[in-house]
Amino acid sequence: MTGEELVTLAERAAENAYAPYSNYHVGAVLLLKDGRTIEGCNVESAAYPLGVCAERTAISKAASEGVRPGDIDAIGINASPCGGCRQWLHEWQVERVYFRRADGSIADYAPASKLLPDTWDLP
Ligand code: THU
């Protein structure tokens, strides 16, 4: 699957976002190495800091189905991932990251650690 296709799927996944506070709808789609795709969207809370980003929703769904770091080929997102999600993408060893830039172009990073210079890992 191309980056453009994954980001298009993420744009569709963003339609399920629960974002009544920010009204900023984010979707993320994982492509697993076994070919499965897993979607996520942001889920906000009236207690604002408890909201969850789309990327972490998708990874949490995958983890709860037994997916482990190293099983994820790629992720498509309809927006640039925040710093916290970059740490998750690094933890989960996502091999390719695609997202839609504000100017409409597709950003392409491989692997996810490229989005996080001097990555932190538990010593
Ligand atoms: N958001 C994501 O879902 N992913 C990101 O990487 C950036 C931010 C969400 C969180 C919140 O629901 C909304 O965007 C506004 O910050």
Domain positions in the chain are 3-115
Whether omega for the bond prior to residue 123 falls within 30 degrees of 0, making it cis, is no
| Count of helix runs (H) and strand runs (E) in the chain | 3, 5
CA 53–ligand 1 middle distance (angstroms): 5
Question: Which pair of structure tokens corresponds to residue 106?
Answer: 């597709």
For the domain made up of 3-115, give the CATH fold: Cytidine Deaminase; domain 2 (3.40.140)
pLDDT tens for 45-55 read: 999 999 999 99
| pLDDT value of position 83 | 97
| SS3 assignment, position 79 | coil
Judge contact between 41 and 25, C-beta under 8 A. yes
CA 35–ligand 1 middle distance (angstroms): 26
Scan for tokens 């339609």, then name that residue: 15
Residue type at position 8: T
Please provide the size of the chain in residues: 123
41 lines ligand 1 (CB under 6 A): no
Active site residue 4: no
Q: One of 15, 55, 91, 95 is an active-site residue; which one?
A: 55
pLDDT tens for 91-114 read: 999 999 999 999 999 999 999 999
pLDDT tens for 64-97 read: 999 999 999 999 999 999 999 999 999 999 999 9
Which helix or strand (DSSP H or E) is residue 100 part of?
Answer: strand 96-100
